[in-house]
Structure 1
Amino acid sequence: MTPQRFATPSEVPGLAARRIAADILDGVLHKRRTLDEQLDGAAAHPGVKALSDRDRALMRRLVATTLRRLGTLGHVLSRLLDRGIPTDAPRAQSALLIGAAQILWMDVPDHAAVDLSVRLVQSDRRAAKYAGLVNAVLRRCAREGQPLIDEVKSQSLDVPPWLMARWVAHYGATRARDIAVAISHEPSLDLTVKSDPAQWATRLHGETLPTGTVRTLLQGAVTMLPGFAEGSWWVQDAAAALPARLFDNVGGKSIADLCAAPGGKAAQLVQAGARVTAVDRSPGRMARLRDNLDRLQLQAETAVADAAEWQGTKGGEGFDGILVDAPCASTGTVRRHPDVAWLRQEADIGALVALQKRLLQRAAVLLKPGGTLVYCTCSLEPEEGEQAISALLATESGMRRVPITASEVAGLGELLTAEGDLRTLPCHLPHQDPRLAGLDGFYAARLIKS
């Protein structure tokens, strides 16, 4: 196995970022490792921290763009390669994909994309024999790639066929295509602010969404942006910020946030005056939640436990409210986490639905009579949303739905289902600049225990 190499002072600029991008892309496509685990935490790629802020941002964009356009890249390269992408040298495959992504969608000079991709394969023992092939194919890509994209004119190539088929079946062909187009664009940075969204939108060169989220196109290290160190805001997609707002006035009320990490919704509830108990089964994720709350100068009780079996706080009193942010297939987050589309399989959904059922049943037990349960998932799959709530209501006679009104979601009635549940889609919130459009796909329902 070729030993890992990191940047040296004399190395060609940008090569280290591309080498690590290739490693991480290989991790997703061949080792089924998520981007999150490869970029952050104890199991992260050891070379990430050695990169400068600029190279780290470049590396992330290389990986994300390649994954976001993976289907189209496969189509283009298959037309330019007589025998297909080499399968015996992962580095050659990664170099071709990353090189073509730069040529077709990134602001990188073609000659630089070709040269650095060739250097990438030359530095790998198994891939070195393909240096000439990579050079020739990427030069052809610079000349012929765009016409090959135009001949198909379909972003649905960049969604796995099983997933696209599900979206067509549930949302219709037109809406499914709209979703595919929306997730093909690099998303903005969304922030939930403690106060004065308009002022923060000005300071961060962004705009305020109708829901109060501040949206900006600023790039680079989030930790260096104004207000981060002071705990004035936290990163949270506009859709993810909606479920925690579906409780009535929570001032002084006890709220359990099940599956709470990394803590964005818990922070919203604490900020609104609730007495929050945050529960998550992962010690590492819970440590991250505590760090986030500390930075925000917010306090909550925490419990490391399996929320589906958690017995509640000492004394056994029920909660005034429970937020179940259930683990799910996460297909609504593909625009921000493009690896999800290629790591998930349709077979995963059944086990997740079983877990969601257990979480809902446990929440119903922990909730006080008259208390409010908000259930949400960042999935576009009906089994994990509408069908999960229908199943609960069919078996729990003491639970009833409380429809969400348009006024509770900034008048955006298109975000609501006929039953009064929240259903956001990546193609919602259109904008003339695609980078400022859209939001994650979320489902949320509000129930009360009678």
Structure 2
Amino acid sequence: MSNSTEQIQQLRSSKHLRADAAKLLHQILDQGKSARECLPIAQQPYLDKDKAWLQEMVYGVLRQLPTLQYWLRKLLDKPLKNKYKVVEHLIMLGLYQIAFSRVSTHAAVSETVEATRVLKAEPLKGLVNAILRNFIRQKLNETPIGDEQIESGLPKWLYKQIQQAYPLQLAELSQAMHSRPPIWLRVNQQKMSVGQFSEFLTAQNQEFTLSEEHPDAIILAKSQDITQLPGFDQGWFAVQDGAAQLAARYLQAEKNERILDCCAAPGGKTCHILELQPNLKECIALDVDPLRLIRVQENLDRLELSAKLVSANATDIASWWDGQQFDRILLDAPCSATGVIRRHPDIKWLRKSTDIDTLVALQQTILQAMWSVLKPGGTLLYATCSILPDENRNQISRFLAQQTDASLLPIIEGETISQPGRQILPGETQMDGFYYARLLKS
């Protein structure tokens, strides 16, 4: 990067960073865009440290949103509208910085106020200044709110569902869902062992731990640029949470089998299946989104693995199936993603309670379709990154009751038709929330 380009980026950073954070929050909360969609675009003009700051602040506001909204309602006489709506998000950013970040109070106030100029909201400069100073003077962040739902950081509908499903773990779960997740790596066993890769990390003074349940995993102690770790370009490892790493292990693919990974993008599980069993007859990665399959191919290429990629609607079997049944199918079903909120806090505010019934119906349809292309004697592994029973245990219980040629192939001890599968909750041995159930076709 040239000095002039870097100077331009630094100049933009100081002038626009908080304004861009407010715009991002406006896009996510008011326009329903996902952070995956709009964050990379907003980060593009910035240096790496400011890209990280932008994500940290936006995610921080999303994690603490109910509390920040509560404070805002106490400090703002009436909601801002139209072109000034974005200023509410700017104010919440300032409140977050004062209450939850290490930014000095003076800097949080002055720089938040200054950002009104960039947002073309200079008439509200005095209002923003007064609100932030009133917040400091009233010490609202030191005053208990007294509302468990607000303090949980969850929207009302999700709070109620978790309260009903996990009444004894509600506080622990809400805390885990708002913690910062560790970085899990999956060592490519076709390239090297975990022991060998550990030696490379140790030589770089990298801190990490291993996991007894995950023979391919390394858990990094600190967040960092993964591409700078040894062996990234050579395909020595991939980034994949511990819960997701269980999929290939539970599937138990064997030599000369025909495997289908349904809803495969971005391809982490496909790659892991191939790493564990390179001598398959065929491995098909199926996904409805052709753009997301590009990411699957990129991951396969970097790890030097090969699979057949198919872009089609899984339920429209005639459009993609060749009539040959599969020995094993991994169905990573579309879901609410409530198990990965700690990684993607925007999920809480993009999902609505009405979405769950729609997702459950879609899961049922895909499950029935996948069952029809599975061989007698074959195995289907159902997976979601959800913690909601309707998408998981209730879904599989209903399928087992209705499908006479389906039986439960237990993953853990104590599984029954009424309580099938393994539900992993966020934070459990450092993993994301995930659900697995394994079914055998007679």
Same fold (TM over 0.5): yes
SS at match of 2:110: helix
**Residues 376-423 of structure 1 deviation map (CA, whole Å, 9 limit, x = unaligned):** 1111111111111112112211111111136xxxxxx9x999845110
Q: Which residue of 1 aligns with 2:405?
A: 398
Distance 2:219 2:417 in 1: 25
Asked whether the 8 Å contact 1:357–1:388 carries over to 2, the reply is yes
**Cα pair distance change 1:149/1:234, threshold 3 Å:** farther
**Alpha-carbon shift at residue 136 of structure 1 (Å):** 2.5
**Alpha-carbon shift at residue 355 of structure 1 (Å):** 1.1
Distance 1:31 1:355 in 2: 25
Asked whether the 8 Å contact 2:385–2:433 carries over to 1, the reply is yes
Aligned 1:62-211 pairs, distance under 5 A: 62-79=57-74, 81-88=75-82, 89-125=84-120, 127-142=121-136, 144-149=139-144, 156-172=151-167, 174-195=168-189, 196-197=193-194, 199-200=197-198, 202=202, 204-211=206-213
SS at match of 1:241: helix
Asked whether the 8 Å contact 2:185–2:238 carries over to 1, the reply is yes
Distance 1:416 1:332 in 2: 23
Asked whether the 8 Å contact 1:402–1:447 carries over to 2, the reply is yes
**Given the two structures, how large is their TM-score scaled by the length of structure 1?**
0.87
Corresponding letter in the other structure for 1:230: Q
**Alpha-carbon shift at residue 243 of structure 1 (Å):** 2.2
Runs of 4+ in 1 over 6 A off after TM superposition: 415-418
**Cα pair distance change 1:314/1:121, threshold 3 Å:** closer
Quote the sequence identity (%): 33
User: Runs of 5+ in structure 2 lacking a partner?
Assistant: 1-6
Distance 1:398 1:181 in 2: 41
Distance 1:315 1:167 in 2: 42
**Cα pair distance change 1:416/1:393, threshold 3 Å:** closer
Asked whether the 8 Å contact 2:178–2:341 carries over to 1, the reply is no
Distance 2:62 2:86 in 1: 16
Distance 1:416 1:395 in 2: 15
Q: Which residue of 2 aligns with 1:251?
A: 255
**Cα pair distance change 1:71/1:416, threshold 3 Å:** farther
Q: Which moved more, 1:353-362 or 1:11-20?
A: 11-20
Instruction: Choose the corresponding residue for 2:432, options 425, 433, 440.
Output: 440
More helix by share: 2
**Alpha-carbon shift at residue 219 of structure 1 (Å):** 2.9
**Cα pair distance change 1:255/1:142, threshold 3 Å:** farther
**Cα pair distance change 1:155/1:233, threshold 3 Å:** farther
Asked whether the 8 Å contact 1:255–1:319 carries over to 2, the reply is yes
Distance 1:264 1:311 in 2: 26
Aligned 1:373-392 pairs, distance under 5 A: 373-392=380-399
User: Runs of 5+ in structure 1 lacking a partner?
Assistant: 1-6, 407-412, 430-437
Corresponding letter in the other structure for 1:83: D
Distance 1:68 1:119 in 2: 25
**Alpha-carbon shift at residue 259 of structure 1 (Å):** 0.4
Distance 1:197 1:67 in 2: 36
**Cα pair distance change 1:211/1:15, threshold 3 Å:** farther
Q: Which moved more, 1:359-368 or 1:103-112?
A: 103-112
Aligned length: 422
**Alpha-carbon shift at residue 250 of structure 1 (Å):** 2.6
Corresponding letter in the other structure for 1:197: V
Asked whether the 8 Å contact 1:331–1:381 carries over to 2, the reply is yes
SS at match of 2:244: coil
**Residues 282-333 of structure 1 deviation map (CA, whole Å, 9 limit, x = unaligned):** 0110111111111111111110011122348775221110000010111111
1:53 has 2:48 as partner: yes
Q: Which residue of 1 aligns with 2:4?
A: none
Instruction: Choose the corresponding residue for 2:343, options 327, 336, 361.
Output: 336
RMSD: 2.6
**Alpha-carbon shift at residue 226 of structure 1 (Å):** 3.1
Asked whether the 8 Å contact 1:53–1:220 carries over to 2, the reply is no
